[in-house]
Amino acid sequence: MNQIPEVIRTIPLNYYLFFSTALFAIGVIGVLTRRNAIVVFMCVELMLNAVNLLLTAFASYRADANGQVFVFFIMAVAAAEVCVGLAIIVMTYRNIRSTDVQLLNYLKW
Amino acid sequence: MMTALLLFWPALAGILVLLIKGKGAKTVAFVAALVEFAFALFAVSGFDTLSAHAQFALNLPWIESAGIRFSIGMDGISLLMVLLTTFLIPLIVLSSFKHEYRSPNVFYALILFMQTGLIGVFVALDAFLFYFFWEVALIPVYFIAAIWGGANRVPVTFKFFVYTIFGSLFMLAAFVYLYFQTPGSHSSDVNTFYQLPLDAATQSWIFWFLFVAFAIKMPVFPFHTWQPDTYTESPPQASMLLAGIMLKMGIYGVIRWLLPVVPLGVSQWDELVLILAIIGIVYGSVIAIRQHDLKRLIAYSSFAHVGLIAAGIFTLNEQGLQGGVIQMLSHGINVVGLFFIIDIIFSRTQTREINNLGGITQTTPALSIFFMILMLGSIALPLTNGFVGEFLLLSGVFQYNNWFGGIAGLTIILGAVYMLRMFQGVMFGTKTANTDNFTDLTLNEKAVLIPLVIMVFWIGLFPNTFLSISEPAVGNLLNIINR
Amino acid sequence: MQEIVMPINKQEMALLCLLIPLLPLLGFILNGLGNRKLSKGIVRIVGCSTVLASFLIAVYLFFDFTANGSQPYIADFYNWISVGTLEIGFTFLIDQLTLLMLLMVTGIGFLIHVYSAGYMNHDEGFGKFFAFLNLFMFSMLLLVMGSNYVLMFVGWEGVGLCSYLLIGFWNTNTSYNNAAKKAFIMNRIGDLGFLLGIFLIFITFGSVSYQQVFLEASNYTGVDTPVMITITLLLFVGAMGKSAQIPLFTWLPDAMAGPTPVSALIHAATMVTAGIYMVLRSNVLYVLAPTTLEIIAIIGVATALVAATIGLAQNDIKKVLAYSTVSQLGYMFLALGVMAFSSSIFHVLTHAFFKALLFLGAGSVIHAMSNEQDIRYMGGLRKALPITFITFLIGTLAISGIPPFAGFFSKDELLAYTYHHNKIMWALGVITSFMTAFYMFRLLFLTFFGEFRGTDAQRSHLHESPASMTAPLVILAILSTVGGFIGMPEIFGAEHVLGNYLSPIFNFARRANGPAIEPVQLDHATEYLLMAVSVGVAVIAIIIAYVMYISKRTVPASEDQRLSPVHNLIYHKYYIDEIYNTLFVLPLMWLSSIFYKVLDTIVVDGIVNGLGKFVMVSGRTMRYAQSGAIGFYVMMMVFSIVLILFLNFFI
């Protein structure tokens, strides 16, 4: 059975680059345009995953495990982030009956 | 070890005082300060007045990896400054006995903490240690002024704090730069700094970085505007601390950390500094003539006197430097005495306006005598302390440049103008509603003033007692500068 | 080459020398601290006996000095200030000049102390007064005994302080206080000059002690070098302040606010002559700067003339005497300026006698008149105050230069020197002499002759002063009569005792610039003529005064009467006080306000506060970017990242 890195290497690196760029851009646009906090949140995750994918691809192309280790860290942090983030969203929903980020502009000046 | 004892004793005592609730705090603080003075006298007795080097030195690792060491010790100049500090602090504590400050334990603990900071400044032989104590000394006095001060205290002390911190940052930057210029694994020792081979252009900007910090503290024209407000708004004890001891930090800083470190920078800019200082002398004196708030008047006069000290020190001749050292002592003694007398007058009449005062001398022979002596000391009448300092300083400035000497000498005339005007307005003439029931000094007040007056005459009659202590150190300093 | 006798160190005399100033200091401390506790009797004894003791010691020193071959010596006490090459010892120098001044200061000082014991008897500040007088004696003695310029300066400032304290003695009175303040500040203006002179002496000669400075100076080559002129001029500025010369003379008349014994002791007999002492002490420096001497002579004669004209129109008995003091001091400086050094000190001495006498006499009159000082309200006092009258008359004759009274010899001698030096100055000096005789006799006639013009209450109160006041008057009157014989001119076949005695102190000067101070040789005919002229003008002045104030019974105009313009001008002292006020005081006050209100508060502090405000304002503006909308933040972030990437890759 082929090693996973070898499987990854069957696809040219450029494709990964284009794909993650696309994913990242979708994430960015999502964050910028959507109002629903949960969707914004998912878009952030999308950006994180785009980076994860790229890290994995580079790691296997360069035969360097560090990249993959990084991915694990990012996933762990992202999970923690989701916990906190979702909790915040739930709390704000309880308070203002909405998850619209545009309404959350009290933190200024 | 002596130095370390002198340095940490007030801090330890301060912690002790902090724990005492109620009225006992002032007594404990006073006793602690007296003990500290006894330590200082003991240090004087063991001091070798012929040596120019730092004595009672202690050199311990502090931030070992960076080559920064806890290095303290006293040469003649430091010793005199320590002596001044330890002499004045008990009197300052004693002078507050008639006031009932709220949370006295905090008040007196802060004074003692400040003493540690001040002594630290005077004994530090490591640049970063110096900087550390420089800032440490600022914090207690900020709180004293900001908590127990007058009506307008918060903005005024804030300005004072930010102003001085702003200056110190330049000093820190200069120190960091110098530190990185030291050879090998770097060191911030004072002697290493003295030996740095820097070119003139570098010294020139380092000069300004250091000078700004010291000039704000002293203060030298035009960095002085924090001073009158702060002195006026602070409680009397803070004014005494600030004017009596703290501004000597700036002058001491110049002597220890500016002149020998960047001699080439000094030789480029000394003329400008002298001009600024002399402008300060005339400017401060002229302003003092029309002041009607006693504290503000003394603040401007102090500013003028310090201008003369600064001018004398930058002449880099022996008369100027020795005069500067002796005048630091004299000025500390006189200004503390004058602030205390203002405090006495204020606590009896609730006013510091000259126009509301008058005729006090009719019922107060003792106060009149003390006030007169301190005033005469301050206008440099011969055989009082002020004369020795001003004579040497003016002689130094005159040797530097005859015209400068002549203009700086105006302080002799203008000083008499504003001081006599103040004295006449407060003490002479007819009584006013405020001064009608003015009582003479209490025993406690005399206890503060008598040591001060003794020192006025001691320095005036036997200045060599003190000049001989600082002479080797000043000579050594001049050797380093002229190397 | 003149042989110079250098002072030797004579430590065995140190204690005695030290006691001279120390005893009055002790008196000051005792009377000062015991101000309100000691009884008047004790105060009187302490105050007078300390000065008497000093006087006796001075007398002993004098005889000891002459007995031991007039060898000057120094008494070294301790090293006062030493910094680098600057060594200032607390050291006394005893030589001819010092001893002369010592005798004069302590002798006249003692008489005035005795007088004060009577005069101030009713004053509640009796103890304070004696304390200050003793402090004055201490300072004045330091001034004349010190063996270096700095010690002289110590005494110099000390007497200024005492003058301040004593002028403002009755300190509830604001105008007295202002007079005191004015005296101190004007003196300080002079002191600054003196101080700078000391610095320049130190730079030039490397020392401030007399022996070394004079020794260096006597080897100095070149006359009228800029540095010598500067030194001497600076020192002379000091003398101007202390000895009330133009332009710093206005404080002295105002100083009459003090009690009368003070006016006699400080502002007539001793302190104001400190300037002459200083110039005389530095004679070697001055002979090296003839230009300065010329300036001194001009200022001296101008002061003499101006003050005399003002004196013509004054109605306050003490003011007249004050202006006459200024005028006489002008004479002394004129004498210095024409290098008649010993004539100058001769005049100092005789002036001390007769001016102290006149002031004390005036004090006696004021005492009798219940503090009335205006001569328009006096008159006919000669019957009520016989001793005062006779002694006052002697003083007046002495100051007017009528032989054989003391003033004649000294004034004549200095005028003879002046004649030799410059005829115009001599003429002005004679005119001054004329005016002096006139206003002094005007004073005498208005006070002691004619009808009494005061109130009935004053008339009933008129009495001769107590013995403690008249005794000094009598002694001073005797001195004013015979004092002149110590300086008899040669043509009378007598020896000039004073001149010969003082001669050694000019040895340095002879060596430095010998020809300049050769004694003037006038032929006898000229000398007799000069004497006749000066006596003649004095007599004419007396006759005019007699005609005006006794025959015609003129009484000076009262305040509300209009005066002729010239009279008005001199009555108001040429408006000099007003001019100074406009030229110096007001601008200084104005400058102070401008500095404080505009420069300090608005400009300097404005910049500082401006920096603070700039931070505040920029913070306030920038905070609007903090809208709180997350979308906006993210968008800014993305834009910024894109911008950075763009800049990074394409630029």
List, for residues B104-123, the tens digit of each pLDDT value.
899 999 999 999 999 999 99
Model confidence at C51: pLDDT above 90: yes
Same domain, yes or no: C361 and C263: yes
Q: Which domain holds residue A39?
A: 4-101
User: What six digits make up the tokens of C650?
Assistant: 């394409």
Contact A105 C634 (CB under 8 A): no
The 3-state DSSP class for residue B22 equals coil
Contact A105 C627 (CB under 8 A): yes
B-chain CB neighbours of C181 within 8 Å are: 420-421, 424
Q: Which helix (H) or strand (E) holds B59?
A: strand B55-63
Query: Which of A36, A106, A107 to mutate to probe the C interface, most C CBs <10 Å?
Result: A107
With an 8 Å CB cutoff and a minimum of 3 pairs, decide whether chains C and A touch: yes
Look at residue A23 and tell me if it is in a domain.
Answer: yes
Q: Cβ distance C377 to C289 under 8 Å?
A: no
Paired strand residues for C81:
C88
Model confidence at C2: pLDDT above 80: no
Number of domains in chain C: 3
Q: What is the pLDDT of residue C1?
A: 45
Predicted confidence band of residue C3 (pLDDT cuts 50, 70, 90):
low
Same domain, yes or no: C483 and C620: no
Q: Which domain holds residue C48?
A: 9-147
The answer to whether residue C600 neighbours chain B at the CB level (below 8 Å) is yes
CATH number at residue A68: 1.10.287.3510
Burial class (CB in 10 A: 0-12, 13-18, 19+), C8: exposed
List, for residues C417-454, the tens digit of each pLDDT value.
888 888 899 999 999 999 999 999 998 988 888 888 87
Model confidence at C493: pLDDT above 70: no
C-chain CB neighbours of A104 within 8 Å are: 628, 630
Predicted confidence band of residue C559 (pLDDT cuts 50, 70, 90):
low
Query: Which of B160, B391, B450 to mutate to probe the C interface, most C CBs <10 Å?
Result: B391
The answer to whether residue A31 neighbours chain C at the CB level (below 8 Å) is yes
Look at residue A67 and tell me if it is in a domain.
Answer: yes
* CA separation for the pair C51, C48 (Å, rounded): 5
The 3-state DSSP class for residue A107 equals coil
Look at residue C479 and tell me if it is in a domain.
Answer: yes
Look at residue C278 and tell me if it is in a domain.
Answer: yes
Q: What is the pLDDT of residue C556?
A: 75
Chains in contact with C, where contact means 3 or more Cβ–Cβ distances below 8 Å, are: A, B
List, for residues B154-202, the tens digit of each pLDDT value.
889 999 999 999 999 999 999 999 999 988 888 888 888 998 888 999 9
Contact C628 A102 (CB under 8 A): no
* CA separation for the pair B118, B135 (Å, rounded): 10
Minimum-distance CB partner of C631 among A101, A106, A107: A101
Instruction: Look at B341-355, C47-61, C558-572, C585-599 and tell me which has the smallest mean pLDDT.
Output: C558-572
Nearest to B334 by CA among B301, B291, B289, B365: B301
Q: Cβ distance C160 to C184 under 8 Å?
A: yes
SS3 content of chain B, % helix, strand, coil (to 5): 75, 5, 20
Model confidence at C469: pLDDT above 90: no
Model confidence at B68: pLDDT above 80: yes
Predicted confidence band of residue B29 (pLDDT cuts 50, 70, 90):
very high
Q: Cβ distance C466 to C118 under 8 Å?
A: yes
Contact B286 C199 (CB under 8 A): no
Handedness of CA C214, C220, C224, C227 (dihedral sign): negative
Look at residue C160 and tell me if it is in a domain.
Answer: no
Minimum-distance CB partner of C199 among B163, B395, B412: B395
Mean pLDDT estimate for chain C = 87
Contact C83 B399 (CB under 8 A): no
List, for residues C201-247, the tens digit of each pLDDT value.
999 998 999 988 988 888 887 888 899 999 999 999 999 999 989 88
Pairing of strands C8-9, C73-83: parallel
Q: What is the pLDDT of residue B144?
A: 92
In chain C, pLDDT over 90 holds for what percent of residues? 37
User: What six digits make up the tokens of C260?
Assistant: 């009368």
Q: Which value, in Å, is the radius of gyration of the alpha carbons in chain C?
A: 31
Model confidence at A1: pLDDT above 60: no
Nearest chain C residue to B406 by CA distance is: C196
Q: Which value, in Å, is the radius of gyration of the alpha carbons in chain A?
A: 17
Minimum-distance CB partner of C181 among B394, B424, B464: B424
Minimum-distance CB partner of B392 among C36, C83, C168: C83
Which ipTM was obtained for this model? 0.93
Q: How far apart are the first and last CA of chain A?
A: 60
The answer to whether residue A26 neighbours chain C at the CB level (below 8 Å) is no
Number of domains in chain A: 1
Nearest chain A residue to C627 by CA distance is: A108
Q: How many beta-carbon pairs under 8 angstroms link B with C?
A: 136
**Cα distance from B124 to chain C (closest Cα, Å)?**
26
With an 8 Å CB cutoff and a minimum of 3 pairs, decide whether chains A and B touch: no
The 3-state DSSP class for residue C558 equals coil
Contact C592 B289 (CB under 8 A): yes
Contact B464 C177 (CB under 8 A): no
User: What six digits make up the tokens of C51?
Assistant: 């000065």
Q: What is the pLDDT of residue C154?
A: 93
Look at residue A106 and tell me if it is in a domain.
Answer: no
Same domain, yes or no: C589 and C554: no
pTM score of the predicted model? 0.89
**Rounded average pLDDT over C617-629:** 85
Instruction: Look at C109-113, C500-504, C551-555 and tell me which has the smallest mean pLDDT.
Output: C551-555
**Rounded average pLDDT over B456-465:** 93
Q: Which helix (H) or strand (E) holds C352?
A: helix C341-368
Same domain, yes or no: C435 and C486: yes
Nearest to B266 by CA among B197, B216, B200: B200
List, for residues B81-102, the tens digit of each pLDDT value.
999 999 999 999 999 988 888 8
Phi, psi dihedrals of residue C10, rounded to the nearest 5°: -125, 85
Minimum-distance CB partner of A102 among C623, C624, C629: C629
Query: Which of C634, C636, C637 to mutate to probe the A interface, most A CBs <10 Å?
Result: C634
The 3-state DSSP class for residue C358 equals helix
**Rounded average pLDDT over A41-54:** 92
Which amino acid appears at position C406 of this protein? A
Return the higher-pLDDT residue of C377 and B382: B382
Question: Could you give the C-alpha distances from C65 to C74, C102, C105, in angstroms and in order?
Answer: 12, 13, 18
**Cα distance from A1 to chain C (closest Cα, Å)?**
42
For residue C648, how many other CB atoms are within 10 A of its CB?
A: 8
Which of C543, C571, C599 lies at the terminal end of a domain, its last residue? C571
Peptide bond into B222 cis (omega under 30): yes
The answer to whether residue C77 neighbours chain B at the CB level (below 8 Å) is no
Same domain, yes or no: C285 and C319: yes
Instruction: Look at B30-44, B213-227, C445-459 and tell me which has the smallest mean pLDDT.
Output: C445-459
The answer to whether residue A28 neighbours chain C at the CB level (below 8 Å) is yes
The answer to whether residue C158 neighbours chain B at the CB level (below 8 Å) is yes
Q: Cβ distance B375 to B298 under 8 Å?
A: no
Same domain, yes or no: C565 and C600: no
* CA separation for the pair B155, B468 (Å, rounded): 44
Nearest to C252 by CA among C356, C167, C132, C368: C167
Same domain, yes or no: C472 and C600: no
Phi, psi dihedrals of residue C80, rounded to the nearest 5°: -80, -65
User: What six digits make up the tokens of C550?
Assistant: 């006794």
B-chain CB neighbours of C195 within 8 Å are: 391, 394, 409, 412
For chain B, domain boundaries:
1-253, 262-483
